[in-house]
Amino acid sequence: MRGALSGRSYVSAQGVTRLRSQLSERDLGILRQVAELRLMSARQIQAVHFPPSEHLSELAAMRARQRVLMRLIRDGLLVALQRRIGGVRAGSAGLVLALGPLGQRVLRLEGARQRPYEPGGRFVDHTLAVSQLIVDVTVAGCGGQLDLLDWQVEPASWRAFGDLGGRRVLRPDAFLALGVGEYELRWFIEIDRATESLPTVLRKCQLYAGYYQAGVEQSRSGVFPRVCWVVPDEARAERIERAIVRDGRLPDGLFVVTTGAQAVARLQAVT
């Protein structure tokens, strides 16, 4: 973690109430989604909250996004990280945004409100990759390709269970429930940025197998979600797939591996 991000000076409770009354439903939707995902890029926010269908052109959507985000930053509801996607030349489209302390108060989130700090590059990369998957699935849902029935990210996606080793906690990056035709498809999502060794990946797979065998998820929802590893490229996908097959102890059909570019298509495949 690095230096603290700039934020607005103290605002009274009355001021927070007044500010909230001035926000549109879109403003609040942006704040809620950034709060849930922890970090979003300006491009990701535009894809969900400024869709092309609601604007005359891509340029009009971009300008609307710029106006809204600059206002939310100015008012201290969002904070922009120093790090940008694509560097300084990316302009406002490269902004990476987090919820500010005032945004927490407007949303009335529980817990201690702390000044946000600049996270490290690895955390930013991984968190934005999780956000991108949620954005891609949301856009696919708006386009009629599927129904996004439910989604959770950390820590809401975590699952606790017990086995012979005691209490265990499974920490998926996300959980998705998708409606595709007459089917409901449930997934645990692991975002892999090729920063972990294959033994580490297999240990996580074994933890999923342990949770599967515990039967907790099945007793709660009737089915156990499949696990989708979303990786940067085909070479990484092949290495993880080979490692899972060679392990020999993991349940057949529990794990699938795909790239980020192919993730939405894979997640809505019934077989």
Q: Tell me the CATH number of domain 125-267, given options 3.40.1350, 1.20.1290, 1.10.357, 1.10.10.
A: 3.40.1350
As a whole number of angstroms, the distance between CA 15 and CA 271 comes to 53
Its sign, for the CA torsion 162, 163, 166, 172, is negative
* Confidence (pLDDT) at 4: 47
* Confidence (pLDDT) at 28: 96
Beta strands 96-99 and 78-80 are antiparallel
* Confidence (pLDDT) at 178: 98
* Confidence (pLDDT) at 111: 55
CATH class of 13-118: mainly alpha
- The predicted-structure confidence for 134-143, as pLDDT tens digits, reads as follows 999 999 999 9
Structural domain boundaries in the chain = 13-118, 125-267
DSSP for residue 56: S
Spans in the chain with pLDDT lower than 70: 1-9, 86-93, 110-116
Which residues, listed in sequence order, are joined to residue 40 by a DSSP beta bridge? Answer: 97
Which residues, listed in sequence order, are joined to residue 98 by a DSSP beta bridge? Answer: 79
Q: Do the domains 125-267 and 13-118 match in fold?
A: no
Please give the model's pTM, rounded to 2 decimal places. Answer: 0.89
